[in-house]
Amino acid sequence: MDKIIDGKKISLEIKDELKEEIKTFKTKPGLVVIQIGDDSASSVYVKSKQKSATEVGINFLHIKYESDVTEDEIIAKIKELNNDSSINGIIVQLPIPKGLNEKRIINSIAPIKDVDGLTYENIGKLISNTTSLISCTPLGVMELLSRYNVEISKKHVVIVGRSNLVGKPLINLFLNEDATVTICHSKTDDLKKYTETADILVVAVGKKGLITADMVNEGTVIIDVGINKIDNKLYGDVDFEEVYNKVSLITPVPGGVGPMTVAMLLKNTITSYKIMNTSK
């Protein structure tokens, strides 16, 4: 089992570290999650965030709106939270109901409190390699690689998937670590031609078993970000059993990248808290 990158274990270690750090603070950090509508998956995610935040000592506020809420009402609430010094992190739980302008709502969050790393300002800072709050899942991927001492500089990283949440931020995170980066997506011809050249392969598509053993090289490090729920069982984008013998390290699904996303949300909240409390 020494090939497994254990995200669950690492996330617990991070939570313990944050808990100890928070004990040294004069006040508790505050995190707000705004949920709009009744998406059942969103409700599960919010509860998970609440549980983790409370465990480490972060004050958690869950603000829930009906799906017929107006955009202006949400933005007015966000502006109020922006001005509240007891709040260090604000996230809007996605997806939000159709008819609401997601980009406008998210960009009304003060960048220093944008712990999901989704505002244009934070994205721009990431691209220009300036200190910023970074989207939680990509940040979790980098944290796992760091904690497992995976060398990134001069390595060939192949990312499959170009989503705004995962693929695109990872391009810049790997470039900032001096990797050579190839990005593949749904319009890429002959995916295998690229994946088999990867030192580090990150797959974030949402297609069960997309990556098979013949598509990867011996000794590759695989980060599987995909989550596919079939018959109440979770699968990744990589055929885990098939590729296991070829790789040097691999994240399982579940228990790999998933737990890191919430851990990084908490870490971003602490980062924001420290910045807000040293700039006074």
Residue positions annotated with a catalytic role: 49, 93, 116
Query: 254: cis peptide before it, omega within 30°?
Result: yes
Based on its alpha-carbon atoms, the radius of gyration of the chain, rounded to whole angstroms, reads: 19
CB atoms within 10 A of CB 209: 15
To 5 degrees, how large is the angle CA 19–CA 24–CA 29? 65
- In whole angstroms, give the CA distance from residue 269 to residue 161: 27
With H, G, I as helix, E, B as strand and everything else as coil, classify residue 52: helix
- In whole angstroms, give the CA distance from residue 31 to residue 89: 5
First to last CA, the chain: 48
Sign of dihedral through CA atoms 196, 202, 206, 212?
positive
Cβ(55)–Cβ(19) below 8 Å = yes
Kindly report the backbone phi and psi dihedral angles of residue 268, in degrees, each rounded to the nearest multiple of 5, phi listed first: -60, -40
- In whole angstroms, give the CA distance from residue 195 to residue 210: 11
The number of CA neighbours under 13 Å toward the Cβ of 40 is: 0
- In whole angstroms, give the CA distance from residue 211 to residue 242: 9
- In whole angstroms, give the CA distance from residue 144 to residue 261: 11
